[in-house]
C-alpha cells in the first residue's frame, strides 16, 4: 500500500512506528521505568529513596558515573562544579541581544549552544578529558545561565555566582538576590527545590533525551546536543506542561470556566483541550514522582502560604479525573508536572521559569545518556527511514 515495496527493494522490512511507541533506540543502564507498576529507579535505586535521602549533586554523580560517590568523590565533584559556575564575560553580553521580555527557555538553549564557542578544549566526544570538562562546565554553568536569563527577563542586574554556595543555593540567590544586599536562603525552599531537581534528573528515552542522543549520534559535542534537548523540552506536550498546568488552573480560578465544564471539554476533545499534567507515554499508573511532588506541595504550601485556591482546584480536578471513566479507561494519571508549578510559584518563580527548572533537573540525565551513547561501540548515527507517500515521478512542465 503506502510505498513499502520500493523500501523493501533496498533495505528489507521497515518498521513504521510513529512516535516510537514500540521502538527502542538504545540499550541503557541508567534509568528503569515500569509504567504499569509506577516504578522509577536511577541506577537501580528507587526514586522515593533518592528523593528522601540523597542530594541533587549526588544523584547527578550517580547518573553520570553509575555508582553513588564516596564522601571524597562527592566532595571533589562539588569542588570542581563550584569552581566553574562563572560565565565568560563576553557571554554575559550575549544576553543583551534578546528582547527585554524574552522567554528564558530559548535564551537558555541559545546560551548553552554558545558555550561551545568558548571551550574548544571540551568539544571532542572521543577525548575523555574533553568529555569530563564539558560535563562539569555544563553542570556548573547552566544554573548561572538560567539565573541570568531570568534577571534579563525582569530587567534586573545579574549576580555573579557565590562559590561558597551549593548549586541550588546559587540558583535561588541568582534569581531572587539583589546586588549589594544579603540574600537570606530559606532551608525549606532549598531542600524542596533540591528534591524537585532529583525527581526530574532522568527519565530514560523521553523526547528531549532522545533528541540529545540523536543529535549526539552525529558526534556533535555535549553543549550542542544538550541545547537541542532544551528546545525539545520547551514544548507543552513535554517540559512546557508545568507552565501550561498553571495557565489551566488560573483559567478555572478566574471563573472563565468551571471545573465541570472544563472536564467536559477535555472529554469531548474540544479544540484539543487536554487536562495538562495528566497522562504519560510510559506510566499507565500513578507517576511515582507525582506522589512525592504532591507531598511536597502539601508541606510547602502550608508553610509558605502558597495559592491554596489553585492547589484546591488542582486537587479537585485530580479527584474528578480519578473517578471518571474517560481517564480510568485510558489510564491517565497525574504526571510529575501536575503539582510542580504550584510549588515553584510558592517559591516565587514566575511561570516562564518553570520549564527552565525542569531543564536544570534533567541536565545530569542528558549528560549521562549522551556519555553512555558516545561510549557504546554499537552506536550508529540516528537515521530513521520513512514511508514515502508523495507523487510518483513526473515531468517538469515542458519536458
- Catalytic amino acids? 280, 337
268 lies in the site for ligand ACO, by CB under 6 A: no
281 binds ligand ACO (CB under 6 A): yes
Residue 239 binds ligand ACO, judged by CB under 6 A: yes
Instruction: Report d(CA 310, CA 89) in Å as an integer.
Output: 41
Contacts of 323 (CB under 8 A, 6+ apart): none
Task: Give the residue with the Cβ less far from ligand ACO, 95 or 278.
Answer: 278
Least distance CB 241 / ligand ACO (angstroms): 3
Location of C-alpha cell 523493501: 8
CA distance 393 to 396: 10
Binding segment toward ligand ACO, per CB under 6 A, in 130-138, 182-190, 231-239, 348-356: 231-239
Residue 336 makes contact with ligand ACO by CB under 6 A? yes
Q: Minimum Å distance from CB 204 to ligand ACO?
A: 12
Question: Residue with CB nearest ligand ACO?
Answer: 279
User: In whole angstroms, how close is the CB of 237 to ligand ACO at the nearest point?
Assistant: 4
Q: Which is nearer to ligand ACO, 237 or 328 (CB)?
A: 237
Of 123 and 359, which has the nearer Cβ to ligand ACO?
359
Minimum distance, C-beta of residue 60 to ligand ACO, in the bound complex (Å) = 18
- 274 touches ligand ACO by CB under 6 A: yes
Binding of residue 246 to ligand ACO (CB under 6 A)? no
Of 82 and 289, CB closest to ligand ACO:
289
Q: Which of residues 62-121 bind ligand ACO (CB under 6 A)?
A: none
Q: Which three cell numbers stand for residue 163?
A: 562559590
Smallest gap, in angstroms, from Cβ of residue 151 to ligand ACO?
Answer: 26
Instruction: Tell me how far, at minimum, the Cβ of 99 lies from ligand ACO, in Å.
Output: 27
Q: Which residues contact 191 (CB under 8 A, 6 or more apart)?
A: none
Would the CA dihedral through 381, 233, 202, 185 be positive or negative?
A: positive
One of 50, 142, 332, 342 touching ligand ACO (CB under 6 A): 332
Please tell me the distance from the alpha carbon of residue 195 to that of residue 357, in angstroms, as a whole number: 12
Measured distance CA(283)–CA(127) in Å, rounded: 37
Q: What angle is formed at CA 226 by the lines to CA 224 and CA 230, rounded to 5 degrees? A: 115
Interacting residue with ligand ACO among 201, 276, 363, 367 (CB under 6 A) = 276
Among 84, 137, 151, 280, binds ligand ACO (CB under 6 A): 280
- Interacting residue ranges for ligand ACO, rule: CB under 6 A: 19, 237-239, 241, 266, 274-281, 330, 332, 335-337
Amino acid at each position: 500500500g503506502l510505498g513499502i515495496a520500493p523500501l523493501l527493494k533496498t533495505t528489507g522490512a521497515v518498521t513504521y512506528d510513529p512516535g516510537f511507541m514500540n521502538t527502542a533506540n538504545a540499550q541503557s543502564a541508567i534509568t528503569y521505568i515500569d509504567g504499569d507498576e509506577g516504578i522509577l529507579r536511577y541506577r537501580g535505586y528507587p526514586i522515593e529513596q533518592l528523593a528522601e535521602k540523597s542530594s541533587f549533586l549526588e544523584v547527578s554523580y550517580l547518573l553520570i558515573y553509575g555508582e553513588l560517590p564516596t564522601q571524597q568523590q562527592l566532595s571533589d565533584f562539588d569542588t570542581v562544579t563550584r569552581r566553574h559556575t562563572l560565565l565568560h564575560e563576553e557571554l554575559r553580553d550575549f544576553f543583551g541581544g534578546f528582547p527585554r521580555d524574552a522567554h528564558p527557555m530559548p535564551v537558555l538553549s541559545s546560551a548553552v549552544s554558545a558555550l561551545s564557542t568558548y571551550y574548544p578544549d571540551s568539544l571532542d566526544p572521543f577525548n575523555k578529558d574533553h568529555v569530563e570538562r564539558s560535563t562539569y562546565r555544563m553542570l556548573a554553568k547552566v544554573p548561572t545561565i538560567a539565573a541570568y536569563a531570568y534577571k534579563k527577563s525582569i530587567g534586573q542586574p545579574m549576580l555573579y555566582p557565590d562559590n561558597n554556595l551549593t548549586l541550588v543555593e546559587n540558583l535561588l540567590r541568582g534569581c531572587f538576590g539583589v546586588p549589594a544586599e544579603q540574600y537570606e536562603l530559606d532551608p525549606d525552599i532549598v531542600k524542596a527545590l533540591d528534591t524537585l531537581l532529583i525527581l526530574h534528573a532522568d527519565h530514560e528515552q523521553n523526547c528531549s533525551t532522545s533528541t540529545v542522543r540523536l543529535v549526539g549520534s552525529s558526534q556533535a559535542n555535549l553543549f550542542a546536543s544538550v541545547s537541542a534537548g532544551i528546545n525539545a523540552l520547551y514544548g507543552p506536550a513535554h517540559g512546557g506542561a508545568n507552565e501550561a498546568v498553571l495557565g489551566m488552573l488560573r483559567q478555572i480560578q478566574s471563573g472563565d470556566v468551571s471545573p465541570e465544564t472544563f472536564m467536559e471539554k477535555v472529554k469531548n476533545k474540544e479544540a484539543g483541550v487536554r487536562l495538562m499534567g495528566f497522562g504519560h507515554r510510559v506510566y499507565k499508573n500513578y507517576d511515582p514522582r507525582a506522589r512525592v511532588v504532591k507531598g511536597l506541595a502539601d508541606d510547602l504550601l502550608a508553610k509558605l502560604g502558597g495559592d491554596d485556591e489553585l492547589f484546591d482546584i488542582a486537587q479537585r480536578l485530580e479527584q474528578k479525573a480519578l473517578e471518571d471513566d474517560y481517564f480510568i479507561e485510558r489510564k491517565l494519571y497525574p504526571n510529575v508536572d501536575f503539582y510542580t508549578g504550584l510549588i515553584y510559584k510558592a517559591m516565587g518563580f514566575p511561570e516562564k521559569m518553570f520549564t527552565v527548572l525542569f531543564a536544570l533537573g534533567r541536565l545530569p540525565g542528558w549528560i549521562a545518556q549522551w556519555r553512555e551513547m558516545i561510549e557504546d561501540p554499537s552506536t550508529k548515527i540516528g537515521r530513521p527511514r520513512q514511508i514515502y507517500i508523495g507523487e510518483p515521478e513526473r515531468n517538469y512542465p515542458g519536458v
